[in-house]
Homo-oligomer: A and B are copies of this chain.
Amino acid sequence: MNQIDKKFEKLGTDHAPGQEVRQSGITSEAYLRGETLPGTPVDFSHGDVNDDAFSPTPGALEEFVEGVHRGGPQAYTEYRGGAELRERVADKLAEFTGRPVSGAKELIITPGTQGALFLALGATATAGDKVAIVRPDYFANRKLVEFLGAEVVPVRMDHLAHTESAGLDREGLEAAFKSGVKTFLFSNPNNPAGVIYSPAEIARIAELANRYGVTVIVDQLYSRMLFRGQVYTHLRASSIDADQVVTIMGPSKTESLSGYRLGVAIGAAHLIDRMEKLQTIVSLRAPGYSQAVLRTWFAEDPKWLQDRIAKHEAIRDDLLKVLHTVAGLTARTPQAGSYLFPRLPALGVSLHSFVLALRVQAGVTVTPGTEFSPDATDCIRLNFSQNHEAAVQAIERTVQLIERYRS
């Protein structure tokens, strides 16, 4: 196998969220237990963007249409995004994160937050560099590092053993930084676990980043969806050297604007410059017309936003109630975002077989934990941004199947 074959061999996407339809069918159904369970199919691999689940921000489509009518200047923005819009978004994000942002120099609009992640990592790490990533964390982080030819240095996060913090292995983080890591990439709130890093954890990350000269990329995609009583600490407003941090945000989750593919990164000007250079060759720019939709961002009716968060919290609580009836299942209550990441009791089949049975027999699509950490062989991730009733029924079916497949 030559070099490029090996590279792509590692980039498997068979179990990536949203790609389930590309899996080949069950070659042997011998392992399936019992009959199919009727009910509305629910795809927990991503949030549902529909009127009976969660719709895009009111006014988003209208802004898009106005953008189309503006024509050329909206279609062909600077590669980093339209100048006026960047100023507007910079002001909003400065207020949100608690530290100034220059729209001219410190912000780039990207095609989705995935685009922003790629650009940020590509701007800070190259072949042979060491990059620290958390386990578990967003499924593509590992692949990004591998594609660039860099080396993954994993840092553990044991969210199930903690309640007052995310559970980051602080000694492990320092050991990683000491070993020569150049970039540390993590999501906060954590995807898949829905936990928030405590103020002490963020302070520690900042302190270590400064001490060891590590650039930190923090994916804050879910940082607006905070449930009652939660405190969120923005890394960029901590003691971290402003030259060493890139913050990634986007309107695709809380705001359900994913279909427009928009992401935003803010950070040190020299890193944003590099990200733009890279964007030039990877995708040129975020969709011109879609950029107009960012005019609705952080300008939503506060009641609409509160209501949206409250609805997610209610779904979370109802799903947890059902999950907690399963003996041997462990689930920490998510503090933010729309993910549940329960650890299942011991099963008599492999995790991937169970996930496939769940889809085939119960119409329930979930993402296996192994997408987020090679150790998470007994976890599944569910995005509960769904129709409330359908989600509860789907979890009831899931529980039935867990009982069927127990070891």
Contact = CB atoms under 8 A, between A and B. Distances in A.
Interface of A: 3-4, 7-8, 11-13, 16, 18-19, 21-22, 43, 46, 48-51, 53, 55-56, 61, 64-65, 67-68, 71-72, 74-79, 83, 111-112, 114-115, 118, 122-129, 140, 143-144, 147, 149, 258-261, 274, 276-278, 280-290
A289 B260 contact: yes
A393 to B, nearest CB: 18
Contacts of A274: 8, 11
Contacts of A282: 114-115, 118, 282-283
Contact of A7 (B61, B126, B280): B126
Contact of A78 (B18, B261, B287): B18
A49 B21 contact: no
24 contacts: A8-B123, A11-B278, A13-B276, A16-B79, A18-B78, A49-B72, A49-B75, A53-B72, A55-B71, A61-B65, A65-B65, A68-B259, A111-B111, A114-B280, A114-B282, A114-B284, A115-B283, A140-B280, A259-B288, A260-B287, A261-B285, A282-B282, A287-B290, A290-B290
Contacts of A122: 147
Nearest to A276: B13
A76 to B, nearest CB: 5
A19 B78 contact: yes
Given A140-B280, A143-B281, A259 B289 contact: yes
A284 B45 CA distance: 14
Nearest to A292: B259
A357 B402 CA distance: 72
A113 to B, nearest CB: 9
B74 A259 contact: yes
Nearest to A293: B289
Given A281-B114, A281-B147, A283-B283, A50 B71 contact: yes
A363 to B, nearest CB: 15
Contacts of A51: 71
Contact of A277 (B8, B75, B287): B8
B260 A19 contact: no
A3 B126 contact: yes
A314 to B, nearest CB: 20
Closest 3 CB pairs of A and B: A75-B259, A50-B71, A259-B288
Nearest to A7: B126
A66 to B, nearest CB: 11
Given A111-B261, A147-B281, 4 more contacts: A11-B274, A56-B68, A74-B259, A75-B259
> Which of A78, A276, A277 has most chain B Cβ within 10 Å?
A277
A50 B71 CA distance: 5
A185 to B, nearest CB: 12
Contacts of A111: 111, 115, 261, 283, 287
A277 B16 CA distance: 10
Contact of A83 (B3, B21, B43, B114): B21
A12 B288 CA distance: 22
A13 B277 contact: yes
Contacts of A3: 126-128
A18 B112 contact: no
Nearest to A144: B281
A289 B112 CA distance: 13
A78 B21 contact: yes
A280 B61 contact: no
A68 B61 contact: yes
Contacts of A74: 259
Contacts of A118: 281-283
Nearest to A68: B61
Nearest to A143: B281
